[in-house]
Chain A
Amino acid sequence: MRRYITQADKFLPAHGLAACLVDLACQRQVNQHKLLRGTGIFREDLLRPDCYLSLSQLMRLLSQFQRLMPGHDSAFQLGHRLFPDFSAEANAIRYSSHLSQALRLLTRFRLQLAPLLFAYRYRHKGFSYLLLSDAVGMDSRQYQFVVELYCCLLVSASRHLLGQRMPFWFEFPFSRPRHIQEYEEHLGLRLAFDRPAMAIRFEEKWLSQPLPQASALRQQLALQQIQASRVVRYTLVEAVSGCLRRQRHGGLQEVADRLEMSPATLKRRLKEHNLRFSQLQDRVNMQEALYLLTVQGLNNGEVAEKLSFNDVPNFRRACKRWTGLTPSELRALSPGC
């Protein structure tokens, strides 16, 4: 079985994001031919239940959508509309008994439900920290759009499941946007901008709260409908990041071996995502360092040791290169400020 998908593999169900996006564009009177031009997607395709798209198709559709939609709120509108759709995966999540179960299922079906970002979850003293990373290799404009989309999806879906508002703290890696009102309205007021990484924080007590719509039987039915063959879990970027997390300071050769391809192929495939191997290495290390410094509050020596740096000055230099800030400046950014 394949463990990851590349740009051209057709694995993403079209009835999710793509259909929702075309629908919203139609409601806002966007010309459909312009929206679908060059994507290789036809309207009839979206009506078929077994239509699958590739990452590059979806990204092209998304950037055309971004260009054609009037106003600043289209990402948030999509975020509200995406969950629950009528897929078996979404249903399985919908009938979960607790949010923690819903999160577990989301991790399992992430590629079907939220293919463009992936999260790594840290837990510390009653709080969960989701560090989000780009799973495709997007430019900064697309990335901001997708971050808005999925943050809003998280807020909207958790509210739908819990039946009440659950507080989230958001940290964004970009500067305060001009359309800040959309963030305030859809995500709440706990926002911080210009942070080194995209992070979401919430209290763990919410995870164990029983959900009003829970139904074990319906959930089982939904799970049975999901085709086992279609459950691929990672994009290539995510697979590489996962390998790097497991073996810190693993080089190109080790990762390529694990993914059963030659280093040259791995480099070429990453290039299709506009990414270099070293960028991914840096991102994984930066996220880990950020967590250890700001959440756990470890000192430079301890973090350098955990990340297997030879000495502290080396670690300081790396930190400066990743984020533009020194470790002590980073520590001052502890969450909740």
Chain B
Amino acid sequence: MFCVVILIEHRLLGNIMNFSLLRLHPQMLLVSGFAIALAIVLSFSIGDLKHSHQIEWLDVVGEGGIVLLTILWQLFLLISRPSGRVTTLLTIGLCCFMFSSLLDALDEFIHYPEQAWLPLFESVPAPFGMILMTWGLYQWHQEMLTLNAQLRRREADVREHGRVDLVTRLYRADYMREQINQLLNKRNTNFCVALVDIDQFDAFNRRFGHPEGDRLLREIAELILMNVRQSDLVCRYAGDRFILLMPDLPLKRARQQVQQIASAVKHLAFKTGNQAVFHTLTTAVAAAQENESCASLLLRVNQRLEQDKQYSGEKQRAPLYHAGR
């Protein structure tokens, strides 16, 4: 039955949901299927079917609904998480809960003889499962703390997965604008904003293709992340332009930090095929001022960047510099 549910879901929802993690959990699927089978076999082996006029349909809908939703929760759990302790605890907990509620639902159809021991199965696994799930949720909390630490510098204190850029896995410009606005609303102007732009990204794309360009963006994003402080935030602004928010940092130090990023990128020997291609950045940094809006701050940094680009455009344009292996 579980498999059928999965198959149907796969057919219907394959377009909107990603089931690629499901194949990591053959054991969990087995456990779940076994629980369902056990409940059905147990109840049919002990009791007899009721007549249709004895069935309370309202109860059937209510209790059956709980079973179906529990199965659905398990499915969501399994398609969203890789395997591990938290996943196992939560799944087994849900399985126990589902087992009890399935027995509960089945006894609407089945009449049991007096002094049967089945009610014991109906009431014991559910609280046991709840305890397992509670333990699992505590473990999940610990896990999230670890993951949050991993996401530092990519994320401030708001999580909005819809705003993550798919190429670099950084948040997009609107997320950054909101963060800057929040700071400005708190009358906190003790922060700097920087833009960094990859030089000749266009030429790189033309020469090596856009998939390679996307990969370059991802690598440079990683490199920028490695070169900022824990409290900084990095987002993708647009195209080959990244934006950095550096709270509690004087302008001079911020410039230094951006310079460090530029020199790190300068030394990155990005490999496409057998070639190493080197890149330079154009950067612009500005400190926030009193009574300034987010838009005017961003405009100021952008203008500065544009000026620098113009200047570097007037210089002899360095061709894409690459070296053999």
Contact = CB atoms under 8 A, between A and B. Distances in A.
B306 A182 contact: no
Nearest to B240: A185
Contact of A71 (B15, B172, B317): B172
Interface stretch (A26-34, A223-231, A316-324): A26-34
A165 interface: yes
A164 B313 CA distance: 7
Contacts of B237: 181, 185
A38 interface: no
A129 B304 CA distance: 27
Contacts of A276: none
Nearest to B310: A165
Q: Ordered nearest first, which 6 A-B pairs have the shortest CB separation?
A: A185-B238, A181-B238, A181-B173, A185-B239, A182-B238, A185-B241
A71 B241 contact: no
Contacts of A76: 238-239
Interface in A68-113: 70-73, 76-77, 80-81
Given A70-B166, A156-B202, A182 B239 contact: yes
Contacts of B240: 185
A186 B210 contact: no
Given A156-B202, A160-B202, 14 more contacts: A34-B15, A80-B202, A163-B317, A164-B317, A165-B309, A179-B238, A181-B238, A181-B241, A181-B298, A184-B302, A185-B197, A185-B237, A185-B239, A186-B238
A27 B210 contact: yes
B205 A80 contact: yes
B273 interface: no
Nearest to B307: A189
Contact of B303 (A71, A179, A189): A189
Contacts of A189: 299, 302-303, 306
A188 interface: yes
Contacts of B313: 164-165
B239 A27 contact: no
A155 to B, nearest CB: 10
29 contacts: A27-B210, A28-B166, A31-B15, A34-B15, A71-B165, A71-B172, A73-B238, A77-B210, A156-B202, A159-B202, A160-B206, A163-B317, A165-B309, A165-B310, A165-B313, A178-B174, A179-B173, A179-B238, A181-B173, A181-B237, A182-B239, A184-B238, A184-B302, A185-B237, A185-B239, A185-B240, A186-B238, A186-B239, A188-B306
Nearest to B176: A181
A70 B169 CA distance: 13
B173 A71 contact: no
Interface in A154-192: 156, 159-160, 163-165, 178-179, 181-182, 184-186, 188-189
Nearest to A23: B210
